[in-house]
Amino acid sequence: MRRSFLGEFEEIVLLVVAACPAEAYGVTIWEDVQQQTGRSITMSAVHATLYRLEEKGFLSSEMGGATAERGGRRKRFFALTNAGVRALNDIQEVRSRLWQAIPPGKFQLIGG
């Protein structure tokens, strides 16, 4: 399979889905992304990203049952795939190597 790279927002959304303790769906993902990043984000941006991540093979989704509280509408639940887990592990490894490569005192030199 061809390697597909993630943008920053895609990575954040994927991490939020991974961190969801219960079933992850649009509203909870949207709320968590905003809470974790401190950014104001549109629901449509989150939905577009979820579908793009699913298209890339990093997420899968399935429809839940209809509920009265949603006027009979169903929720789409998202979950990480094996490819999504591998992508997040790869990103974590790269970021860890890069942080470890920063020489001690480098930030003090820049700020001082």
> Residue 1: what pLDDT?
47
Lowest mean pLDDT among 10-19, 45-54, 71-80: 71-80
* The CATH classification of domain 8-66+73-101, taken from the options 1.10.1280.10, 3.40.50.300, 1.10.10.10, 2.40.110.10: 1.10.10.10
- Domain range list for the chain: 8-66+73-101
Q: Over the Cα atoms of the chain, what is R_g?
A: 17
Mean pLDDT, to the nearest integer, of 86-108?
90
> Residue 107: what pLDDT?
75
Q: In the chain, where does DSSP find H-type helix?
A: 8-19, 26-37, 43-55, 82-101, 106-111
